[in-house]
Amino acid sequence: MKKNNPRKVALEILIDIETNRAYSNITINKLVKELDIDQIDRRFITQLVYGVLENKLYLDYIIKQFSKTKFNKINIYILNILRLGLYQIVFLSKIPNSAAVNESVKLAKVVNRRLSGFVNGILRSYIRNKDNVKLPDFDKDPIKFLSIKYSHPEWLVKIWLKKFGPEFTEELLKVNNEAPNLTIRTNTLKISRSHLIDLLTGEGARCREGMYTPEAVIIENLTNNLNSLDSFNNGLFQVQDESSMLVGHILDPKEGDFVIDVCSAPGGKSTHIAQLMNNEGKILSRDIHDHKLNLIRENASRLGISIIETENFDALKLDDKLINRADKVLVDAPCSGFGIIRRKPEIKYFKCSKDINNLAVMQLKILNNSSKYVKIGGSLVYCTCTIQDDENIGIIHKFLENNSNFILLDVNSYLPNNIKSHEKFLQLYPHLDRVDGFFICKLKRIKQ
Protein backbone atom coordinates (compact mmCIF):
# COMPACT_ATOMS: atom_id res chain seq x y z
CA MET A 1 0.00 0.00 0.00
CA LYS A 2 1.38 3.41 -0.98
CA LYS A 3 2.11 5.59 2.04
CA ASN A 4 0.35 8.95 2.23
CA ASN A 5 2.61 11.99 1.88
CA PRO A 6 2.16 13.88 5.21
CA ARG A 7 2.87 17.24 3.55
CA LYS A 8 0.16 16.60 0.97
CA VAL A 9 -2.28 15.62 3.72
CA ALA A 10 -1.39 18.80 5.63
CA LEU A 11 -2.02 20.79 2.44
CA GLU A 12 -5.49 19.27 2.00
CA ILE A 13 -6.34 20.06 5.63
CA LEU A 14 -5.22 23.69 5.25
CA ILE A 15 -7.30 24.06 2.08
CA ASP A 16 -10.36 22.64 3.85
CA ILE A 17 -9.91 25.05 6.75
CA GLU A 18 -9.48 28.05 4.48
CA THR A 19 -12.24 27.30 1.98
CA ASN A 20 -14.83 25.69 4.25
CA ARG A 21 -14.02 27.38 7.57
CA ALA A 22 -13.42 23.94 9.02
CA TYR A 23 -11.90 23.53 12.47
CA SER A 24 -8.33 22.27 12.57
CA ASN A 25 -8.72 19.62 15.27
CA ILE A 26 -11.84 18.10 13.69
CA THR A 27 -10.39 18.11 10.17
CA ILE A 28 -7.09 16.58 11.26
CA ASN A 29 -8.79 13.81 13.23
CA LYS A 30 -11.21 13.04 10.39
CA LEU A 31 -8.63 12.86 7.60
CA VAL A 32 -6.01 11.04 9.63
CA LYS A 33 -8.60 8.40 10.55
CA GLU A 34 -9.89 8.04 6.97
CA LEU A 35 -6.37 7.63 5.56
CA ASP A 36 -5.19 5.35 8.38
CA ILE A 37 -2.06 7.42 9.04
CA ASP A 38 0.50 6.19 11.56
CA GLN A 39 1.36 8.03 14.76
CA ILE A 40 4.67 9.51 13.52
CA ASP A 41 3.12 11.01 10.38
CA ARG A 42 0.10 12.17 12.38
CA ARG A 43 2.39 14.20 14.65
CA PHE A 44 4.16 15.73 11.65
CA ILE A 45 0.87 16.59 9.93
CA THR A 46 -0.45 18.17 13.12
CA GLN A 47 2.78 20.14 13.56
CA LEU A 48 2.62 21.44 9.98
CA VAL A 49 -1.06 22.41 10.11
CA TYR A 50 -0.89 24.13 13.48
CA GLY A 51 2.44 25.73 12.63
CA VAL A 52 1.07 27.32 9.48
CA LEU A 53 -2.14 28.47 11.16
CA GLU A 54 -0.30 29.91 14.15
CA ASN A 55 2.10 31.88 11.94
CA LYS A 56 0.01 32.52 8.82
CA LEU A 57 0.16 36.32 8.81
CA TYR A 58 3.92 36.28 9.31
CA LEU A 59 4.37 33.70 6.52
CA ASP A 60 2.17 35.78 4.23
CA TYR A 61 4.23 38.87 5.09
CA ILE A 62 7.32 37.04 3.80
CA ILE A 63 5.54 35.82 0.66
CA LYS A 64 4.40 39.35 -0.19
CA GLN A 65 8.00 40.59 -0.04
CA PHE A 66 9.29 38.03 -2.54
CA SER A 67 6.33 37.44 -4.87
CA LYS A 68 6.02 39.41 -8.10
CA THR A 69 2.47 38.11 -8.40
CA LYS A 70 -0.09 40.09 -6.39
CA PHE A 71 -0.85 38.20 -3.19
CA ASN A 72 -4.59 37.95 -3.83
CA LYS A 73 -3.91 36.48 -7.28
CA ILE A 74 -1.86 33.51 -6.01
CA ASN A 75 -3.57 30.15 -6.46
CA ILE A 76 -4.87 28.94 -3.07
CA TYR A 77 -3.05 25.60 -3.33
CA ILE A 78 0.22 27.29 -4.32
CA LEU A 79 -0.19 29.82 -1.51
CA ASN A 80 -0.58 27.08 1.08
CA ILE A 81 2.35 25.13 -0.38
CA LEU A 82 4.44 28.28 0.07
CA ARG A 83 3.20 28.64 3.64
CA LEU A 84 4.08 25.02 4.39
CA GLY A 85 7.53 25.36 2.85
CA LEU A 86 8.31 28.62 4.61
CA TYR A 87 7.07 27.29 7.94
CA GLN A 88 9.54 24.41 7.71
CA ILE A 89 12.40 26.73 6.69
CA VAL A 90 11.72 29.42 9.30
CA PHE A 91 10.59 27.36 12.30
CA LEU A 92 11.69 23.70 11.93
CA SER A 93 15.45 23.58 12.36
CA LYS A 94 15.57 19.77 12.09
CA ILE A 95 14.32 19.85 8.49
CA PRO A 96 17.06 20.87 5.99
CA ASN A 97 16.15 23.83 3.82
CA SER A 98 16.81 21.75 0.71
CA ALA A 99 14.25 19.15 1.82
CA ALA A 100 11.63 21.82 2.56
CA VAL A 101 12.15 23.38 -0.88
CA ASN A 102 12.25 20.12 -2.81
CA GLU A 103 9.14 18.69 -1.16
CA SER A 104 7.27 21.95 -1.75
CA VAL A 105 8.23 21.95 -5.43
CA LYS A 106 7.04 18.33 -5.74
CA LEU A 107 3.67 19.29 -4.25
CA ALA A 108 3.44 22.26 -6.62
CA LYS A 109 4.09 20.02 -9.63
CA VAL A 110 1.13 17.86 -8.63
CA VAL A 111 -1.12 20.92 -8.34
CA ASN A 112 0.16 22.97 -11.29
CA ARG A 113 3.47 22.03 -12.89
CA ARG A 114 4.08 25.42 -14.48
CA LEU A 115 3.86 27.12 -11.07
CA SER A 116 6.48 24.88 -9.45
CA GLY A 117 9.19 27.31 -10.54
CA PHE A 118 7.31 30.13 -8.79
CA VAL A 119 7.36 28.13 -5.55
CA ASN A 120 11.01 27.22 -5.97
CA GLY A 121 11.96 30.84 -6.67
CA ILE A 122 10.22 32.36 -3.64
CA LEU A 123 11.51 29.77 -1.17
CA ARG A 124 15.10 30.01 -2.43
CA SER A 125 14.91 33.82 -2.52
CA TYR A 126 13.88 33.83 1.11
CA ILE A 127 16.74 31.48 2.08
CA ARG A 128 19.24 33.80 0.36
CA ASN A 129 17.76 37.03 1.72
CA LYS A 130 16.15 36.08 5.03
CA ASP A 131 18.30 38.52 6.99
CA ASN A 132 16.79 41.36 4.97
CA VAL A 133 13.24 40.54 6.10
CA LYS A 134 12.37 43.17 8.71
CA LEU A 135 9.22 43.51 10.78
CA PRO A 136 7.41 46.86 10.96
CA ASP A 137 8.84 49.29 13.51
CA PHE A 138 7.22 48.71 16.91
CA ASP A 139 7.57 52.34 18.00
CA LYS A 140 5.92 53.63 14.81
CA ASP A 141 3.17 51.01 14.55
CA PRO A 142 2.93 48.61 17.50
CA ILE A 143 -0.36 47.14 16.23
CA LYS A 144 1.10 46.12 12.86
CA PHE A 145 4.32 44.86 14.50
CA LEU A 146 2.50 42.60 16.95
CA SER A 147 -0.05 41.53 14.36
CA ILE A 148 2.58 40.28 11.93
CA LYS A 149 5.07 38.91 14.45
CA TYR A 150 2.46 36.80 16.26
CA SER A 151 -0.06 36.40 13.40
CA HIS A 152 -3.13 37.87 15.05
CA PRO A 153 -5.49 40.23 13.14
CA GLU A 154 -4.87 43.93 13.70
CA TRP A 155 -8.39 44.63 15.00
CA LEU A 156 -7.92 42.08 17.81
CA VAL A 157 -4.43 43.29 18.70
CA LYS A 158 -5.81 46.83 18.91
CA ILE A 159 -8.54 45.79 21.35
CA TRP A 160 -6.10 43.89 23.57
CA LEU A 161 -3.51 46.67 23.56
CA LYS A 162 -6.17 49.13 24.70
CA LYS A 163 -7.42 46.83 27.46
CA PHE A 164 -4.23 45.12 28.64
CA GLY A 165 -1.27 47.26 27.53
CA PRO A 166 1.73 46.18 25.41
CA GLU A 167 3.53 43.81 27.81
CA PHE A 168 0.45 41.77 28.75
CA THR A 169 -0.74 41.69 25.13
CA GLU A 170 2.59 40.50 23.73
CA GLU A 171 2.82 37.68 26.29
CA LEU A 172 -0.75 36.65 25.48
CA LEU A 173 -0.07 36.65 21.73
CA LYS A 174 3.12 34.67 22.23
CA VAL A 175 1.47 31.96 24.33
CA ASN A 176 -1.43 31.74 21.87
CA ASN A 177 1.09 30.34 19.38
CA GLU A 178 2.37 27.66 21.76
CA ALA A 179 1.03 24.14 22.17
CA PRO A 180 -1.31 23.80 25.18
CA ASN A 181 -1.20 21.02 27.75
CA LEU A 182 -3.04 17.81 26.93
CA THR A 183 -5.19 17.48 30.04
CA ILE A 184 -7.60 14.72 30.95
CA ARG A 185 -10.21 14.36 33.69
CA THR A 186 -10.09 11.26 35.86
CA ASN A 187 -13.43 9.48 35.90
CA THR A 188 -13.73 9.30 39.67
CA LEU A 189 -16.79 7.07 39.34
CA LYS A 190 -14.41 4.30 38.28
CA ILE A 191 -10.86 5.11 39.43
CA SER A 192 -8.72 7.43 41.57
CA ARG A 193 -6.33 9.90 39.98
CA SER A 194 -3.24 8.21 41.41
CA HIS A 195 -4.34 4.82 40.09
CA LEU A 196 -5.09 6.32 36.67
CA ILE A 197 -1.63 7.87 36.51
CA ASP A 198 -0.12 4.45 37.27
CA LEU A 199 -2.19 2.84 34.49
CA LEU A 200 -1.30 5.55 31.98
CA THR A 201 2.37 5.18 32.82
CA GLY A 202 2.06 1.48 32.04
CA GLU A 203 0.44 2.40 28.70
CA GLY A 204 3.43 4.50 27.68
CA ALA A 205 2.35 7.94 28.88
CA ARG A 206 4.38 10.35 30.95
CA CYS A 207 1.99 12.36 33.07
CA ARG A 208 1.57 14.39 36.25
CA GLU A 209 -1.19 15.74 38.45
CA GLY A 210 -3.02 18.84 37.29
CA MET A 211 -2.63 22.23 38.90
CA TYR A 212 -6.09 23.28 40.04
CA THR A 213 -8.58 20.40 40.19
CA PRO A 214 -8.44 17.03 41.98
CA GLU A 215 -9.38 15.07 38.83
CA ALA A 216 -6.93 16.64 36.41
CA VAL A 217 -3.99 14.77 34.87
CA ILE A 218 -1.59 16.51 32.48
CA ILE A 219 -0.09 14.21 29.85
CA GLU A 220 3.41 15.38 28.94
CA ASN A 221 4.29 12.64 26.47
CA LEU A 222 2.29 9.91 24.79
CA THR A 223 3.59 7.19 22.50
CA ASN A 224 0.17 6.04 21.28
CA ASN A 225 -3.04 7.67 20.09
CA LEU A 226 -5.08 8.60 23.18
CA ASN A 227 -8.26 7.01 21.81
CA SER A 228 -6.49 3.68 21.36
CA LEU A 229 -5.62 3.29 25.06
CA ASP A 230 -7.49 0.68 27.09
CA SER A 231 -7.87 3.23 29.88
CA PHE A 232 -9.76 5.54 27.51
CA ASN A 233 -11.96 2.83 26.01
CA ASN A 234 -12.75 1.52 29.49
CA GLY A 235 -14.05 4.97 30.42
CA LEU A 236 -11.41 5.85 32.99
CA PHE A 237 -10.91 9.41 31.74
CA GLN A 238 -12.22 12.16 29.50
CA VAL A 239 -10.17 14.80 27.66
CA GLN A 240 -10.93 18.16 29.29
CA ASP A 241 -8.91 21.26 30.16
CA GLU A 242 -8.67 22.31 33.81
CA SER A 243 -10.38 25.64 33.11
CA SER A 244 -13.41 23.67 31.94
CA MET A 245 -13.24 21.38 35.00
CA LEU A 246 -13.37 24.43 37.27
CA VAL A 247 -16.84 25.16 35.85
CA GLY A 248 -18.22 21.97 37.39
CA HIS A 249 -16.67 22.70 40.78
CA ILE A 250 -18.06 26.25 40.79
CA LEU A 251 -21.51 24.96 39.82
CA ASP A 252 -21.16 22.64 42.85
CA PRO A 253 -23.96 20.16 42.04
CA LYS A 254 -25.22 17.77 44.72
CA GLU A 255 -26.52 14.21 44.62
CA GLY A 256 -30.19 14.23 43.62
CA ASP A 257 -30.09 17.66 41.95
CA PHE A 258 -31.86 18.43 38.70
CA VAL A 259 -29.30 20.18 36.50
CA ILE A 260 -29.86 21.70 33.06
CA ASP A 261 -26.88 22.19 30.74
CA VAL A 262 -28.40 24.37 28.03
CA CYS A 263 -25.49 24.34 25.53
CA SER A 264 -23.86 21.07 26.44
CA ALA A 265 -22.13 19.43 23.44
CA PRO A 266 -19.80 17.60 23.29
CA GLY A 267 -20.61 16.85 26.94
CA GLY A 268 -17.38 17.37 28.86
CA LYS A 269 -19.03 19.55 31.48
CA SER A 270 -22.21 17.46 31.66
CA THR A 271 -20.27 14.26 32.31
CA HIS A 272 -18.11 16.04 34.89
CA ILE A 273 -21.23 17.31 36.66
CA ALA A 274 -22.54 13.73 36.72
CA GLN A 275 -19.31 12.62 38.40
CA LEU A 276 -19.63 15.34 41.03
CA MET A 277 -23.21 14.12 41.65
CA ASN A 278 -21.95 10.52 42.03
CA ASN A 279 -24.24 9.63 39.13
CA GLU A 280 -27.32 10.32 41.28
CA GLY A 281 -29.97 12.84 40.19
CA LYS A 282 -30.80 14.10 36.71
CA ILE A 283 -28.95 16.15 34.09
CA LEU A 284 -30.74 17.48 31.01
CA SER A 285 -28.11 18.13 28.33
CA ARG A 286 -29.27 20.12 25.34
CA ASP A 287 -27.88 21.15 21.97
CA ILE A 288 -29.20 22.04 18.51
CA HIS A 289 -27.15 19.45 16.60
CA ASP A 290 -28.07 15.77 16.73
CA HIS A 291 -24.55 14.59 15.88
CA LYS A 292 -23.24 16.50 18.88
CA LEU A 293 -25.92 15.01 21.12
CA ASN A 294 -24.72 11.60 19.93
CA LEU A 295 -21.24 12.50 21.18
CA ILE A 296 -22.68 13.26 24.63
CA ARG A 297 -24.45 9.91 24.72
CA GLU A 298 -21.36 8.05 23.54
CA ASN A 299 -19.15 9.74 26.16
CA ALA A 300 -21.68 9.14 28.93
CA SER A 301 -21.96 5.46 27.99
CA ARG A 302 -18.19 4.99 27.89
CA LEU A 303 -17.81 6.70 31.27
CA GLY A 304 -20.59 4.63 32.86
CA ILE A 305 -22.89 7.60 33.44
CA SER A 306 -26.64 6.99 33.43
CA ILE A 307 -28.21 10.24 34.70
CA ILE A 308 -27.77 12.34 31.54
CA GLU A 309 -30.79 12.81 29.30
CA THR A 310 -30.09 14.50 25.94
CA GLU A 311 -32.53 16.69 24.05
CA ASN A 312 -32.42 18.74 20.87
CA PHE A 313 -33.50 22.21 21.91
CA ASP A 314 -32.44 25.74 20.96
CA ALA A 315 -31.30 27.74 23.99
CA LEU A 316 -32.46 30.93 22.25
CA LYS A 317 -36.02 29.72 22.85
CA LEU A 318 -37.76 29.61 26.22
CA ASP A 319 -39.07 26.23 27.36
CA ASP A 320 -42.15 26.90 29.50
CA LYS A 321 -42.09 23.32 30.83
CA LEU A 322 -38.85 23.94 32.72
CA ILE A 323 -39.61 27.25 34.42
CA ASN A 324 -38.68 27.21 38.15
CA ARG A 325 -37.70 23.53 38.05
CA ALA A 326 -33.88 23.34 38.09
CA ASP A 327 -31.61 23.27 41.12
CA LYS A 328 -28.63 24.25 38.95
CA VAL A 329 -28.35 25.59 35.42
CA LEU A 330 -25.19 25.80 33.33
CA VAL A 331 -24.91 28.27 30.46
CA ASP A 332 -21.73 27.48 28.56
CA ALA A 333 -22.52 30.15 26.01
CA PRO A 334 -21.51 30.19 22.34
CA CYS A 335 -18.63 32.67 22.11
CA SER A 336 -15.73 33.97 20.03
CA GLY A 337 -13.42 31.30 21.46
CA PHE A 338 -10.50 33.70 21.90
CA GLY A 339 -9.43 31.85 25.04
CA ILE A 340 -8.71 28.67 23.06
CA ILE A 341 -6.71 30.06 20.13
CA ARG A 342 -3.92 27.66 21.09
CA ARG A 343 -6.25 24.74 20.34
CA LYS A 344 -8.00 26.24 17.30
CA PRO A 345 -5.65 28.86 15.82
CA GLU A 346 -7.92 29.39 12.81
CA ILE A 347 -10.43 31.10 15.14
CA LYS A 348 -8.42 34.32 15.05
CA TYR A 349 -8.90 34.56 11.27
CA PHE A 350 -12.57 33.52 11.22
CA LYS A 351 -13.89 36.21 13.56
CA CYS A 352 -14.28 39.99 13.25
CA SER A 353 -15.36 42.74 15.63
CA LYS A 354 -18.93 42.60 14.34
CA ASP A 355 -19.12 38.96 15.41
CA ILE A 356 -18.48 39.95 19.03
CA ASN A 357 -21.48 42.28 19.00
CA ASN A 358 -23.73 39.62 17.44
CA LEU A 359 -22.55 37.01 19.95
CA ALA A 360 -23.22 39.33 22.88
CA VAL A 361 -26.86 39.71 21.81
CA MET A 362 -27.22 35.93 21.58
CA GLN A 363 -25.45 35.31 24.89
CA LEU A 364 -27.69 37.69 26.82
CA LYS A 365 -30.83 36.14 25.33
CA ILE A 366 -29.67 32.63 26.25
CA LEU A 367 -28.82 33.77 29.77
CA ASN A 368 -32.21 35.46 30.22
CA ASN A 369 -34.06 32.34 29.04
CA SER A 370 -31.96 29.98 31.13
CA SER A 371 -32.40 32.02 34.29
CA LYS A 372 -36.14 31.29 34.17
CA TYR A 373 -35.44 27.59 34.78
CA VAL A 374 -33.74 28.19 38.16
CA LYS A 375 -35.67 27.55 41.38
CA ILE A 376 -35.69 30.16 44.12
CA GLY A 377 -32.52 29.40 46.05
CA GLY A 378 -31.01 27.65 43.03
CA SER A 379 -27.98 28.81 41.10
CA LEU A 380 -26.77 29.42 37.57
CA VAL A 381 -23.22 29.37 36.21
CA TYR A 382 -22.41 31.39 33.10
CA CYS A 383 -19.13 30.63 31.35
CA THR A 384 -17.34 31.15 28.04
CA CYS A 385 -13.99 30.16 26.55
CA THR A 386 -13.09 33.72 25.68
CA ILE A 387 -11.38 36.71 27.30
CA GLN A 388 -13.57 39.47 25.84
CA ASP A 389 -15.38 41.57 28.48
CA ASP A 390 -18.25 42.22 26.04
CA GLU A 391 -19.03 38.49 26.11
CA ASN A 392 -18.30 37.98 29.80
CA ILE A 393 -18.72 40.36 32.70
CA GLY A 394 -20.44 42.83 30.36
CA ILE A 395 -23.21 40.28 29.77
CA ILE A 396 -23.55 39.67 33.52
CA HIS A 397 -23.85 43.40 34.29
CA LYS A 398 -26.60 43.78 31.69
CA PHE A 399 -28.40 40.74 33.05
CA LEU A 400 -28.29 41.91 36.67
CA GLU A 401 -29.55 45.37 35.72
CA ASN A 402 -32.81 43.77 34.57
CA ASN A 403 -33.03 40.80 36.94
CA SER A 404 -33.09 41.92 40.57
CA ASN A 405 -34.13 38.40 41.59
CA PHE A 406 -30.52 37.25 41.03
CA ILE A 407 -27.31 38.13 42.83
CA LEU A 408 -23.69 37.54 41.86
CA LEU A 409 -21.95 35.04 44.13
CA ASP A 410 -18.24 35.00 44.92
CA VAL A 411 -16.66 32.02 43.14
CA ASN A 412 -13.53 32.09 45.32
CA SER A 413 -15.04 29.78 47.92
CA TYR A 414 -15.10 27.05 45.26
CA LEU A 415 -11.51 27.55 44.10
CA PRO A 416 -8.17 26.18 45.33
CA ASN A 417 -5.81 28.67 46.95
CA ASN A 418 -3.43 28.72 43.97
CA ILE A 419 -5.98 30.28 41.62
CA LYS A 420 -7.94 32.82 43.67
CA SER A 421 -9.60 35.71 41.83
CA HIS A 422 -9.51 39.40 42.78
CA GLU A 423 -13.13 39.62 41.63
CA LYS A 424 -16.26 37.64 42.45
CA PHE A 425 -15.99 36.04 39.00
CA LEU A 426 -13.04 34.13 37.54
CA GLN A 427 -11.22 35.19 34.37
CA LEU A 428 -8.41 32.87 33.29
CA TYR A 429 -5.69 33.73 30.77
CA PRO A 430 -3.50 31.16 28.97
CA HIS A 431 -0.23 33.04 29.57
CA LEU A 432 -0.90 33.69 33.26
CA ASP A 433 -2.71 30.54 34.36
CA ARG A 434 -1.38 27.98 31.83
CA VAL A 435 -4.90 26.78 31.03
CA ASP A 436 -7.44 27.80 28.40
CA GLY A 437 -8.71 31.35 28.60
CA PHE A 438 -12.03 31.06 30.41
CA PHE A 439 -14.65 33.19 32.15
CA ILE A 440 -16.77 31.71 34.94
CA CYS A 441 -19.30 33.39 37.21
CA LYS A 442 -22.09 32.16 39.46
CA LEU A 443 -25.52 33.69 40.05
CA LYS A 444 -28.08 32.80 42.72
CA ARG A 445 -31.83 33.25 42.45
CA ILE A 446 -33.04 34.88 45.65
CA LYS A 447 -36.71 35.58 44.89
CA GLN A 448 -39.52 35.14 42.37
Provide the pLDDT for residue 38.
84
**Is 385 in the active site?**
yes
Nearest residue to 215 (alpha-carbon basis) of 268, 160, 178: 268
CA 234, CA 220: separation in Å to the nearest integer? Answer: 21
For domain 182-239, give the fold: Alpha-Beta Plaits (3.30.70)
Q: Phi and psi for 237 in degrees, rounded to 5? A: -155, 165
Q: Phi and psi for 205 in degrees, rounded to 5? A: -100, 145
Nearest residue to 76 (alpha-carbon basis) of 124, 47, 111: 111
User: Between vectors from CA 163 to CA 424 and to CA 425, what angle results, nearest 5°?
Assistant: 10
Provide the pLDDT for residue 2.
56
Q: What is the mean pLDDT of residues 95-122?
A: 96
Provide the pLDDT for residue 1.
41
Catalytic residue among 207, 335, 385, 441: 385
Provide the pLDDT for residue 203.
95
pLDDT tens, position by position, 167-193: 999 999 999 999 999 999 999 999 999
pLDDT tens, position by position, 137-149: 999 999 999 999 9
Q: What is the mean pLDDT of residues 243-260?
A: 98
Q: Phi and psi for 245 in degrees, rounded to 5? A: -65, -35
Provide the pLDDT for residue 39.
83
Q: What is the mean pLDDT of residues 16-23?
A: 93
Could you give the C-alpha distances from 357 to 352, 364, 426, 429, in angstroms and in order? 10, 11, 22, 21
pLDDT tens, position by position, 371-397: 999 999 999 999 999 999 999 999 999
Domain ranges, ordered by start, for the chain: 6-132, 142-176, 182-239, 242-445
Q: What is the mean pLDDT of residues 235-240?
A: 98
Neighbours of 34 (CB within 10 A): 8
Contacts of 75 (CB under 8 A, 6+ apart): 111, 112, 115
CA 308, CA 297: separation in Å to the nearest integer? Answer: 8
Q: Is the pLDDT of residue 336 over 50?
A: yes
pLDDT tens, position by position, 288-322: 999 999 999 999 999 999 999 999 999 999 999 99
CA 71, CA 73: separation in Å to the nearest integer? Answer: 5
Please give the CATH number for the structural domain made up of 242-445: 3.40.50.150
Q: What is the mean pLDDT of residues 163-167?
A: 97
Give me the sign of the Cα torsion angle 214, 216, 222, 227. Answer: positive
Q: Is the pLDDT of residue 220 over 50?
A: yes
CA 210, CA 242: separation in Å to the nearest integer? Answer: 7
User: Between vectors from CA 20 to CA 17 and to CA 22, what angle results, nearest 5°?
Assistant: 45
Q: How confident is the model at residue 210 (pLDDT cuts 50, 70, 90)?
A: very high
Nearest residue to 262 (alpha-carbon basis) of 393, 362, 412, 357: 362
pLDDT tens, position by position, 45-79: 999 999 999 999 999 999 999 999 999 999 999 99
Provide the pLDDT for residue 29.
85
* % of the chain beyond a pLDDT of 90: 91
Q: Is the pLDDT of residue 344 over 80?
A: yes
Whether the link from the prior residue into 266 is cis, omega within 30° of 0, is yes
416, 246 Cβ separation under 8 angstroms: no
CATH class of 6-132: mainly alpha
